[in-house]
Amino acid sequence: MTNVSAAADDYGFVRFANVQKSYDGEILVVKDLNLDIAKGEFLTMLGPSGSGKTTCLMMLAGFESATYGEIRLKNERIDNVPPHKRGIGMVFQNYALFPHMTVAENLAFPLRVRKMGKAEIEDRVKRALEMVELPAMAGRMPAQLSGGQQQRVAVARALVFEPDLVLMDEPLGALDKNLREQMQYEIKHIHESLGVTVVYVTHDQSEALTMSNRIAVFNDGVIQQLAPPADLYERPDNAFVAAFIGENNKLKGKVEQMDGQSCTVRLEDGSSVVALPVNVGGKGEPTTLSLRPERVVVAPAEGSLPNAFEARVEELIYLGDHIRTRVSVCGTDEFIVKIPNAQSHARISRGEMVRIGWAMEDCRALDA
């Protein structure tokens, strides 16, 4: 059972309680999900294709129904409420703007459906366009806008009727890299200024790290870990999360010794590593060590680190702010070290032997 909830009173703003989803009556694509989302939170559902994240969003929106369990918004059950009566704003990857309506008419549409007066509609449309910095585009047709402008209009339309909750399904997936990064910050700033609750779905980990208050990492219909971005990156609970969020070095071995706050792991090549036991069995059990490339120190002072090894430099790739260095060490030639460009010993060369090391707490012993 995945029980991921929060202690704070306002965390039940959106609540999934024992939610399951099956399309064929046999295979569960969402397995016993318990998740509380706080009012005003930006929560991202992150995971690979087929992990269940989009299905969760679609059940919340009302486009899919839960096979079992209940979904609540502001403590009211919404399982049986049709999508258009849930009062939820939606932003999709394909913008979903009405091509035959101007930008202003697109924004006015959800307000007219709610029978608002003409003056209020005009005022809200004007404010929404100013919020996404497109006040001059009111009279344009969607086809006359760039992809980024269309996506801003889609965001404005989702917010114009001031919903309590906005759902975003891969909204930046169709944009090029620079525009995507710019839109990440814009959506983040809009969220911060309005205080609206956002549930965001993406498979892009950097997008999730940039925008979210908390991230729920999905795999195989189950939340693997729910945490703020820094916790997820620095302190992954299992090997899947460590591998899925950012780059990490994986070293396989067996637990040789357990000593309270640390463990000694014998690697497949016979090397011995001192690590932080996070998700391991007892002595003799297999484990995967997870170590971020930026945590590896080149040429550490003698005796300063518990783990120090001679490594052969196999490849150097210049990436501006750092040099991505692939070395052969501990039985693998796919070990990555990120060397900040400002460090003088960055002037190492291919084929050279270098000494590298890392701290015990930076090396996490996880499930095999």
First to last CA, the chain: 21
Mean pLDDT of the chain, nearest integer: 89
Q: Which is nearest to 169 in space by CA: 233, 98, 88, 231?
A: 88
| pLDDT of 288 over the 90 cut | yes
Confidence of residue 9 (pLDDT cuts 50, 70, 90): very low
353-358 vs 297-298, strand pairing mode = antiparallel
CA angle 74, 78, 84 (to 5 degrees): 105
- The predicted model gives 8-29 an average pLDDT of 84
Domain ranges, ordered by start, for the chain: 2-239, 248-366
Q: How far apart are CA 251 and CA 261, in angstroms?
A: 20
Separation between Cα atoms, residue 40 and residue 212, nearest integer Å: 11
86's tokens: 């849930």
Instruction: Return all residues near 117 (Cβ < 8 A) that are at least 6 apart.
Output: none
Q: Do domains 2-239 and 248-366 have the same CATH topology?
A: no
Beta strands 42-46 and 197-202, pairing class: parallel
Q: Is the pLDDT of residue 7 over 70?
A: no
Mean pLDDT across 156-175: 86
Q: What is the DSSP string of 281-335?
A: -STT-EEEEEE-GGGPEESPPTTSSSEEEEEEEEEEEE-SSEEEEEEEETTEEEE
pLDDT, tens only, 182-228: 888 888 888 888 889 999 999 989 899 999 999 999 999 999 999 99
Do 274 and 330 meet the contact criterion of CB atoms below 8 Å apart?
no
CATH of domain 2-239: 3.40.50.300
| Distance separating alpha carbons of residues 343 and 303, to the nearest angstrom | 20
- For residues 347 and 362, which has the higher predicted lDDT (pLDDT)? 362
pLDDT tens, residue by residue, 32-75 = 999 999 999 999 999 998 899 999 999 999 999 999 999 999 98
What pLDDT sits at residue 167? 93
Predicted TM-score of the model (pTM): 0.86
Does the pLDDT of residue 3 top 60, yes or no?
Answer: no
User: What are the backbone dihedrals phi and psi of residue 265, each rounded to the nearest 5 degrees, phi first?
Assistant: -120, 130
Rounded CA-CA distance 363/290 in Å is 6
The string of DSSP codes covering 149-206 is: HHHHHHHHHHHTT--SEEEEESTTTTS-HHHHHHHHHHHHHHHHHH--EEEEEES-HH
Secondary structure letter of residue 9 according to DSSP: G
State mean pLDDT over 286-297.
94
The CA-based angle 364-5-200, given to 5 degrees, is: 85
248-366: in CATH 2.40.50.100: yes
pLDDT given for residue 179 in this prediction: 81
Which H or E run includes 251?
strand 249-259
